[in-house]
Amino acid sequence: MSDPIRSHESARASPRASRVETIPVDGEFALCLTHDVDRPYKGVRSLYYATRERPTYHLRTALRSSNPYWQFEELMDLEEELGVRSAFYFLNEQHLLRDRSLSEWFSPSNWIQHLGRYDVTSEEIVEVIRALEAGGWEVGLHGSYHSPDDPDRLTTEKSTLESILEGDVTGGRQHHLRLTVPDTWYYHRRIGLEYDASLGSCTECGFHDGYRPLRPFGDEFVVFPLTIMDQTLPDPGSQPDAARRVCERLLTEAAENDAVMTVLWHPRFFNEREFPGHRELYRWLVERAQELDAWIGPPEELFDAIEREQPSETASESDRPVHTDRRNVLSEIARTGQRTPITNYDGPYQSTEATEPADQVDVVGRPNRCPVRGERRGEP
């Protein structure tokens, strides 16, 4: 008997891909706030940094008691002050030596990945997850590096998180935006996730994949395209005005097009000493969106509003019938997508110490290499 999760038959039987046509929330547009929890502990990564710059500072911050990447409380306080909530996506990576093959031990990029691994079931992370949930934040899944084509692994990661939450996980995003379209979405839907927020670029910000969420299978499963990943902006420490200009342009574009704009700020970037300018830029972005009368919240809340308003909306008469294989999902994205590359700045900050590139990411027909960075502005 074939494995029902791995079988694509039911995915391909779905006749249409479509878009969410209206955004049923109060406001000129919707701004979804998200945080991928990649590296909450600087820990042993300090040893890696210490060999390169400011050794005494980095060695000192290796101590747990002065962990500069632990930004949960600060971030919650900031969002409480701003009157907004966001989504935190938690990663549950496999242990390199225990869970991965011997051949993977010898890749430098795997070691850099592994140095920052955390245990999502540890007492302090569990406490944070429960505090977030109790405070009205969304807790979602940050599918691990090797999970996009591994439904069994995705199932394990989702159920571990759900056992901590004592409830369902609605959606999330894949680490490094690694997707195989549409297979990963099919696995997400099959294991009970209702949305994904991985569709986007690690190198460019903009509405590359359209202004509205996509329904790749024409059913209730929704994809929220990513508009801004923090590290794709001009460095807000050295070019604060340029970074704001890019955000302003995208906020205005969102307001003019009734768009859903989704942004990703990694929690450790909220440490002002290590990553100057990021926290202030995030505050400015949220306050500017409020001035522009945006609805602001986590994707789960928007998903729920969409489902209430348009329950299990399927394709409208105006949609072309397309079969949901990769090529047709891509053509649907291209048909309704708006490509607006941002070109009026010097380009995103590039770490001078970016190491080996990660594997080629198979996403939406364009090159999308997300380098594995062990450096200042981090990895996706």
Size, binding site for Zn ion by CB under 5 A? 3
Measured from the CB atom, is 19 or 175 closer to Zn ion? 175
Q: Is 93 in the site for Zn ion (CB under 5 A)?
A: no
Segment near Zn ion (CB under 5 A), from 11-19, 35-43, 71-79, 118-126? 35-43
Measured from the CB atom, is 85 or 176 closer to Zn ion? 176
Q: Given candidates 14, 33, 38, 179, which one binds Zn ion under the rule CB under 5 A?
A: 38
Burial of residue 21, with CB atoms counted within 10 A of its CB: 0-12 exposed, 13-18 middle, 19 or more buried: middle
Q: Is 39 in the site for Zn ion (CB under 5 A)?
A: no
Q: Given candidates 16, 35, 175, 190, which one binds Zn ion under the rule CB under 5 A?
A: 175
Q: Is 230 in the site for Zn ion (CB under 5 A)?
A: no
Shortest distance in whole angstroms from residue 378 CB to Zn ion:
9
Torsion of CA 246, 86, 311, 228, to 10 degrees: 20
Shortest distance in whole angstroms from residue 112 CB to Zn ion:
13
Q: Given candidates 29, 36, 114, 208, which one binds Zn ion under the rule CB under 5 A?
A: 36
Q: Is 268 in the site for Zn ion (CB under 5 A)?
A: no
Q: Rounded CA gap, 165 and 169, in Å?
A: 8
CB neighbour list of residue 349: distance below 8 Å, 6 or more residues apart: 231, 233, 234, 235, 238, 376, 377
63 backbone dihedrals φ, ψ, rounded to 5°? -70, 135
Measured from the CB atom, is 11 or 37 closer to Zn ion? 37
Segment near Zn ion (CB under 5 A), from 33-41, 59-67, 192-200, 324-332? 33-41
Per-residue tokens: 210: 């359209």
Per-residue tokens: 125: 């992370």
Residue nearest to Zn ion (CB): 175
Shortest distance in whole angstroms from residue 91 CB to Zn ion:
6
Shortest distance in whole angstroms from residue 311 CB to Zn ion:
32
For residue 363, give the DSSP letter.
-
Segment near Zn ion (CB under 5 A), from 11-19, 173-181, 275-283, 309-317? 173-181
Q: Rounded CA gap, 33 and 31, in Å?
A: 6
* Residue keyed to tokens 């090529």: 327
Q: Is 253 in the site for Zn ion (CB under 5 A)?
A: no
Q: How far is CA 307 from CA 23, 170, 195, 268, 291, in A?
A: 10, 12, 11, 33, 27
Q: How many CB atoms lie within 10 A of CB 236?
A: 26
Segment near Zn ion (CB under 5 A), from 31-39, 115-123, 207-215, 350-358? 31-39
353 backbone dihedrals φ, ψ, rounded to 5°? -115, 25
Shortest distance in whole angstroms from residue 251 CB to Zn ion:
24
Q: Rounded CA gap, 191 and 175, in Å?
A: 18
Given the rule CB under 5 A, which residues bind Zn ion?
36, 38, 175
